[in-house]
A and B are shown apart, each in its own frame.
Chain A
Amino acid sequence: MRRVVITGAGVVSPLGDSRAALHAALCGGRSAAKPLELFGDEKLGCTLACEITDFDAQKYLGGRNLRPLDRTARLVASAARLALEDSGFGVETLAREAVGLVLGTMFGSLRTISEFDRRALTAGPTYASPMDFANTVISAAAGQTAIMHGLRGVNSTVSTGASSGLQAIAYAADLIRAGSARALLAGGAEELCFESFYGFDRAGLLCPSNNSAPVKYPIPFDARRGGFLLGEGAALLMLEDASRARERGAHVLAEVKGVGSAFDPSRGKDDGKAVAAEARAARLALEDAQLQPASIDCLSASANGSLCADRREAYAIADVFASAARKLPVTAVKSMLGETLGAAGALQVVALTETMRDGVLPGIRGLEETDGDFPPVVASPQNRRVDVSFGLVNSNGFDGHSSSLVLARPSRR
């Protein structure tokens, strides 16, 4: 069967715009959370977010006209530029070969959709913006990025909530295994915007920021946790057919060894079913990788500080790993990056490739004591030295979507 390897990554995040910068920030225990600058409203109960301050896409995209691109598309196009550079795909290669793009995003740009609609409402439909309309489709960012960089292969978008990015990587990996593509950028992106932020705030899912709130920051798995903070960013990985990568002497970061996904038909309402779906996704990924749970050296959790979601994930980990869970170090990068929705799973994969490279697993920022309400998770606020041959990434959505991915360190020759 064809093998899928990662030969480069592009990252645009509140903790840096390279794999190395991201890893250094995570290992330094740096939180991206700070008061919102992009927008504000006195009705918001949460006023903190992991925002990319002064994001300037021009820095990555040169003198190109960026007016047609909204923030989401700029994040994606910038990450794509970085990923293409990191993996050594130049203009000549892109002209010769149809490289694809599979992007995970929960909303696309809800800001663009809403602004288009509001302008039509307030000024009349005659004055609605044609350029904005082109960006109201959730697949717009992927389209804009393909135009900007000449990506003529399969161009697809996946929207499964906070698991979108990991699902996109799995989708792309499967295309390569099936022989439908040889090289694809895959990952996810999400922008911070008032409309989606407000929606999450009204749903009571975010850490409240008022002075009396005990916990204003996300502390995954901690007994005191009280919700998540939203973040934004984009991460794209260059996935290649392993033989193509070998032929061109590419530097391999990791291998996508196995993927799995499952759905909780109670849509998140039933604990038992939710845990079962997460466990199933992880088991399917392990089966796909032909590995036993005990072979996994570390786990990058989806946990973001939510009371319910973190608990369920802990139960799922215990269910899948059983006694092996006692020796399985777990990290939760959303403690520092926040919940970046569509970008989350992809950022986790990038972070894990860095851990594979230098053997350091970032601690969970702010963690004091894991909640006794669920099976113990081997987690610590301190970094840990880990020798990672195989790592597992979990990515769970809000309405029942669950996906897992097994990464393998490239074999030494």
Chain B
Amino acid sequence: MNAEEIRAAVKRAISTTANMETAQIGDDASYKDDLQLDSLTILEIAVGLEYEFQIKIPDEQLSEIRSVGDTVRLIQQHLA
């Protein structure tokens, strides 16, 4: 799976959970500053992606997620 596909999946997850258009989500959008997502929504998105990709991200790494970019990188790491 390449980065683009992962990014698309991440944007889809944000779109469903936060009720926004994928077009509104920048490639490296910051969850808090750009998208105004709260902590519970961010966690929900992250867990949904863990499920989709069947990976398990340790809590410490999960709590470091700040942006779409972070998320894509983390998923890539765990898929590798």
Direct contact of A and B (CB under 8 A): yes
Given the interface pairs A126-B50, A126-B56, A130-B47, the reply to whether A67 lies near B40 with Cβ below 8 Å is no
- A213 to chain B: which residues have CB within 8 Å? none
B19 and A67 form a contact (CB under 8 A): yes
- Interface size of B by CB at 8 A reads 14
A131 and B41 form a contact (CB under 8 A): yes
Interface residue from A66, A128, A134 paired with B19 (Cβ < 8 Å): A66
A127 and B43 form a contact (CB under 8 A): no
- A65 to chain B: which residues have CB within 8 Å? 18-20
- Judged by a CB distance under 8 angstroms, whether A323 is at the interface is no
A67 and B16 form a contact (CB under 8 A): yes
- Judged by a CB distance under 8 angstroms, whether B24 is at the interface is no
- B50 to chain A: which residues have CB within 8 Å? 126-127
- Could you tell me the distance between the alpha carbons of A68 and B43 in the complex, rounded to whole angstroms? 12
- Determine how close the nearest CB of chain A comes to the CB of B62; give it in whole angstroms: 10
A123 and B41 form a contact (CB under 8 A): no
A130 and B44 form a contact (CB under 8 A): yes
- A134 to chain B: which residues have CB within 8 Å? 40
A129 and B44 form a contact (CB under 8 A): yes
Flag B15-48 by CB within 8 Å of A: 1 or 0 each: 0111110000000000000000000110110011
- Could you tell me the distance between the alpha carbons of A60 and B40 in the complex, rounded to whole angstroms? 24
- Determine how close the nearest CB of chain B comes to the CB of A170; give it in whole angstroms: 33
Q: Of all chain A residues, which has the CB nearest B56?
A: A126
B40 and A68 form a contact (CB under 8 A): yes
A131 and B19 form a contact (CB under 8 A): no
- A123 to chain B: which residues have CB within 8 Å? 51
Q: Which of A104-133 contact B (CB under 8 A)?
A: 123, 126-131
- A127 to chain B: which residues have CB within 8 Å? 47, 50-51
- B40 to chain A: which residues have CB within 8 Å? 68, 130-131, 134
- Could you tell me the distance between the alpha carbons of A65 and B19 in the complex, rounded to whole angstroms? 6
A131 and B44 form a contact (CB under 8 A): yes
- Determine how close the nearest CB of chain B comes to the CB of A128; give it in whole angstroms: 8
A130 and B19 form a contact (CB under 8 A): no
Q: Of all chain B residues, which has the CB nearest A58?
A: B19
With A65-B19, A65-B20, A129-B44 already in contact, 9 other A-B pairs whose C-beta atoms are closer than 8 Å: A65-B18, A66-B19, A68-B40, A123-B51, A129-B47, A130-B43, A130-B47, A131-B41, A134-B40
- Return 18 A-B CB contacts under 8 Å, by A number: A65-B19, A67-B16, A67-B17, A67-B18, A67-B19, A68-B40, A68-B41, A123-B51, A127-B50, A129-B44, A129-B48, A130-B40, A130-B43, A130-B47, A131-B17, A131-B43, A131-B44, A134-B40
